[in-house]
A and B are shown apart, each in its own frame.
Chain A
Amino acid sequence: MADKIATRQAYGEALAALGEKYTNFVVLDADLAEATKTILFKKKFPERHFDCGIAEGNMMSVAAGIASTGVIPFASTFAIFASGRAYDQVRNSIAYPHLNVKIGATHASISVGEDGATHQSNEDFALMRAIPGMTVICPADGTETYACVEAALKIDGPVYMRFGRYAVPYIYDPATYKFEVGKGIVLSEGKDVSIFANGLMVHMAIQAKEVLKNEGIDAEVINIHTIKPLDEELVVASAKKTGAVVTAEEHSIIGGLGGAVCETLSGKCPVPVLRVGVEDKFGKSGKVPTLLQEYGLTVENIVAKAKAAVAMKK
C-alpha cells in the first residue's frame, strides 16, 4: 500500500471494488470521469456508468429520478459544481423527497491547487449541511474513503461525500478500521484542548498534538468525518473535559465543521472555540503546499489556535 492517496482516487477504487458486491448501484458523471476517478468503475462496469456530459444540474435531477425507482445512483463531479451549480437540483430533486442519491464530490477546496478560485469549493459543507436530511461526510484518508462509500450505500437517503484531489497520508489500517456514519473517532485522548478535524486536516491535527505535547499542552484529537449529523455527544463530552476547542477543516470558517461545532457548543457547553479554515476568502491558483500555507491550513496554525484557545479558558 502506498503511503499516500488522494481520496478521489480512493473513491474511484472503492466504487470499482464495491461494484461487484453491490449490484444495485450505478454511477453518473459529468464529463469528469478521468478526474473524479469514476473511470475506474466505468472500465469494470461500462453498462452501469452513465456520462451526463457537462450538465451537472441535469445529472443531479436524473439521479433523483433513478433513485425514485429503487436503483442507487452515485452522482460524481467536482465539489464546486455538485454543491454550487447544482444546488437547486440537490435540494429540490434529491433532498426534499429524501431520495437515495449518493453525491461523490471531488476536487474540494484549496487543495485543488492550480485551477484556482472558480474550482475551489470552500463553501460546500455549509451549503450541503443546511439542507434537511442531508448526510455530509469528509473522509480523512483512503481507508476512510472506502469505508464511507460503503456506509453511504447502506444509508437510505441522500449523502454528500467530499473528496480531495491532493494525495494525503494513510491514517487508518483497512484491516482494523471501523466507520460509522455520524460517529467521530478519538484519535488520541487529551485533557487541555480538543482538536476536531476532518479531511486533510486530520493528519495535520495529529502532528499538531505532538508539537503541543512538547509545549506542555495535552491535546485531544478527534476526527469528525461526518459533519452532518454531527456527533454532538462526542463533541460536547470532549469540550466538557478539555474546556477549549479548535476546529480544523479545509473549508471556510463559516458554516462548515467549525460552524457546526460552535452551534452545538454554544447551547450545550459554551467554551472557547477557535476555527482553522479558509477565512472568508476565495482561493487562488498555486502549488498545493504553498496554498495550504497561505490559507493557514497548517500544523502551525492549529498549534497557534490551540494555544490561544487554552489561554482563553477561564
Chain B
Amino acid sequence: MDKKQIELIKKEANLIRKDIIEEVFSASSGHPGGALSIADILAYLYFHEMRVDPKNPQCEDRDRFVLSKGHTCPALYATLAERGFFDKALLKTFRQADSILQGHPDMKHIPGVDMSAGSLGLGISTACGMALSAKIQNKDYRVYSIIGDGESEEGQVWEAAMFAAHYKLDNLTVFLDYNGLQIDGPIEEIVDPAPFDKKFEAFKWNVIVIDGHDIEQIDKAVQQAKSCKGKPTVIIAKTIKGKGVSFMENKVGWHGKAPNEDEYKQAIADLSALDN
C-alpha cells in the first residue's frame, strides 16, 4: 500500500471521527470513546479492503462486517455514510425515534449493516456463522468483526473462539479493540481478560498484535490474515479510547457520554487540527 492510499484512509478516518462527534452530540447520548478508537480500522476496511458495494448492500458475495461491540455504532454509521451506503444527513438523526440509526446496529433497517448487535459477546459468534456459511457454500467472501477488550469478559467470546478454530475459519478476521477501558474503569481493575495474545494462541488462532491507529500496520496484519490458512486470525489492536479528541483520550468517563456544546466545539477543533 502506497503513501497516497495511507493518506486517503487517514483522511477518511478523521472524517469518521468528526461524524462520530456530530452523531453523539446531536443525539445527546451514545458512546464516543470506543467509537473513536476503532475509526482507523473501519476506514481501512471500508475504504481499502472490503469487497462491498454501497449501491448493492445485500450483494451475496460481499465481505461481511460485524460490530460485536455494537454500542460503538456511531463509528460504523459514520463509515457507512462516508462510503455512500446512506445519506450523511441521517447521522444527525442518530438515536432519535424516527431514525433508522438505532442506538445499536440494526441490520433490518440500516443499509450496509450486516448484523444486528448490542448484547456483548454475540456478534463474534454471528461472524463465525457467516464465515462457516461461506465454507458451506464455497464462497470466497471474508468476514471481519471488531470485539471489545471489555467485551472479552463475556464467556461467549471464548465459545466463539473455540468454534472458529475448530472449524478452521481462516476467512474470519477479528479485531480486538484493546483500548484498556470499560465503563467501570480500566479493564485490569475490573476483571482483567489479559493476556489476549496468549489466550487466543491457546485457542489455536493466528494472533497479530498491532498499533490500531497505524494504517500500515493494520494493512500488514489484514494481508497476513488473508494468507494464513486453516486458522482464524485475531488482530489485537492497541488503541486509545477517545482517540483524536484531547479531553476524551484515555478517559473512562467518555465511554457513554455525549459532549456538551463547548466540548463539542473543542472536539471538532481537535479533529480539524489533525486534518493538516
Contact = CB atoms under 8 A, between A and B. Distances in A.
Interface of A: 26, 48, 50, 52-53, 55, 57-58, 60-71, 73, 88-89, 92-93, 96-98
A275 B76 CA distance: 49
B145 to A, nearest CB: 10
A64 B126 contact: yes
Contacts of B133: 65-66, 69-71
Kindly state the interface size class of chain B when it binds its partner.
Answer: 35 or more
Given A53-B163, A55-B159, A97-B115, 12 more contacts: A57-B122, A58-B156, A61-B122, A65-B115, A65-B126, A66-B133, A68-B114, A68-B129, A69-B134, A93-B119, A93-B125, A97-B107
Given A26-B136, A50-B167, A69 B130 contact: yes
Contacts of B132: 50, 62, 65-66
A39 B167 CA distance: 19
B193 to A, nearest CB: 17
7 contacts: A58-B159, A61-B122, A61-B125, A62-B128, A62-B132, A65-B127, A97-B106
A57 B119 contact: no
B122 A62 contact: no
B162 A71 contact: no
Contacts, number: 106
Contacts of B134: 69
Contacts of A73: 129
Contacts of B129: 61-69, 73
Contacts of B136: 26, 48, 66, 71
B160 interface: yes
Interface string B134-171: 10110000000000000000011001101100110000
Nearest to B160: A58
B125 A57 contact: yes
B186 interface: no
